[in-house]
Amino acid sequence: MPTNTSRRNFFKNTGAVSAAAMLGGVGASLTACGGDSSSTPEDPLLALTATQVVANIKNGTLKAETYMAAMIARAKVASGLNAMIFLNEVEALKAAKAVDADKAAGKTLGALAGLPIVVKDNINTKDMKTTGGTPALRHHQPKTNAPSLQKLVDAGAIVLGKSNLHEWAFGITSTNFTLGTDQSGAAARPCKNPYDNTRIPGGSSGGTAVAVAARFAPAGLGTDTGGSTRVPASFCGIAGFRPSVGDGAGQGRRYPDTANDALPISTTRDTVGPMGRTVADLALLDAVITGGAVPTAKALKGLKIGLPAAFWTDLDDSVRTVADAAKKKLADAGVVFVDADLVGIMALNDTMSFPIALHEPVAAIPAYLSANSAPVTTVAQVQAGLASPDVVGAFGAIAGDVFAAAYAAAMVPNTGGRAQLQKLYKDYFAAQGVECVLFPTTLLPAPKIDVVEGSSAGKLPYTVGGVAKQTARDTFGTCIFHTDPCTNAGIPSLSIPAGLTAGGLPVGMQIDGPLGSDTHLLAIGMGIEAVWGSVKAPAI
């Protein structure tokens, strides 16, 4: 949420300034390797992926300042999507000029030199406020960048701004009531899906997803507790990655962040995750964050992938059509599918999901506030300023610590629900001999925006086998139904754009792999996206 008048009003629409109008004929010499098929010759820069951007800056065919200016202009054109809380325009252009100066001086450029990224506004940034989209933190200024972000900055990435989110990341719609209300009391500025402005982009990392999909940032960072990088990636036609996390104490995290480097929900489940238009871009950012090598795409012939029935039932017809077509393309490419279910996984996951997510904040939130010298120090002080009704409800459960007993049962070593879930996945991968599992990221495409109720809305309409139905769960439960189980197990997960419905809405497909198989999972994803191709860009 903006912290002053200039931040509140920075995103006024300045008119549709095209990249081509600003850049003349620069785009003709750019290296292109499979840019989006819907991009027009008039705006060549908008089609570039993050991997292509850094390659072109390094080889001298693209100026970092030129590209940054194009992204800022595009952000202003797309201002009505409400993707950003703060646009770092002046400093981002200054940093881009410095990259060009280093290039001209013959200096060695970092792996991400000149790459604009957007950062979800719950991730610590030392040069920009980190508000979490919540009133209590409107003046919160961390002293350091989150370690994952710092790795990207050290490699030359430039933070274009802080992206919008569901308040405190406690929701799935990215309808944030902190950003202003109309006379009815409803949210006046919900974050909007670029493919259909009447629909949600997903959450809680909705702003990052919208910025990437709307082509004013090639990549960015989100966070993921129950699906917050992958649900918005699916709804917005981009790729989103959740790395392996490890145990509840933070041991075994692949990424270097701790519970005090971003606004916390669950120390067991929270993680920063990269978001981009291609899996190759995610692999590039992941390699920089972890210090590893960028993998090459996995050959698909003979690759064994599991199809657990628990994740293939009760799909909306429009999602099933895209999913079946995507699955056929993989079969044609030589993938071997194994029809074997993760028996009992949904019931088991239900025993721990809310207990973990709503008990751990009791201690995690005060610890973060103290470690970062925040303007407030307690859960009660944060709760007193909350603006979003559904988040008020979540904080009520936290303040009352209503899940303490269920949490203790879930976390018993070796025999608790979480240990059982981890064993279920581990045994499945070993017994079936599969390298990952595949299924639609969400049961249905992006739902309509409900500005009054947000993610506390009732059941959602959808169609199964031609029969109109209503989902068994509310918006939140429906959207995270497929993305949530892997988060409690701590295994890596990736959503890949698979196509558009007949109505023009994106559908993502998710692959999950064994704990620690992150790089291999990204390599598989790169092989899959080569078969599926890119999705048509949204019309802004």
Which element (helix H / strand E) includes 280? helix 279-290
- The verdict on whether 38 is a catalytic residue reads no
Residue with tokens 């649900």: 231
Longest CA pairwise span in the chain (Å): 65
Known catalytic membership, residue 120:
yes
Lookup: tokens for 423: 């064993």
Which among 233, 245, 266, 234 is positioned nearest to 407, based on CA atoms?
Answer: 266
58 is catalytic: no
Count CB-CB contacts under 10 A for residue 4: 11
Tokens of 25: 């004929």
Give counts: helices (H), strands (E), the chain: 20, 13
Amino acid (1-letter code) at residue 484: D
Q: Of these residues, 204, 234, 455, 493, which one is catalytic?
A: 204
Give the Cβ contact number of residue 16 at 10 Å.
12
| Helix axes of 147-154 and 279-290: crossing angle, nearest 10 degrees | 100
Name the active-site residue from 39, 148, 205, 228: 228
The pair phi, psi for residue 286, each rounded to 5°, is -60, -40
Tokens of 442: 């969400």
Evaluate whether 148 touches 154 at the Cβ level (below 8 Å).
no
Cβ-contact 22, 70 below 8 angstroms: yes
Phi and psi (nearest 5°) for 192?
A: -115, 145
Nearest to 209 by CA among 175, 249, 238, 241: 238
DSSP string, 156-182: T-EEEEEEP-SGGG--SS---GGG-B-
- Please say whether the dihedral angle defined by the alpha carbons of residues 178, 181, 185 and 186, taken in this order, is positive or negative: negative
* Phi/psi at 405 (5° precision): -70, -45
What are the residues facing 273 on neighbouring strands?
Answer: 222
* Residues forming the active site: 120, 204, 228
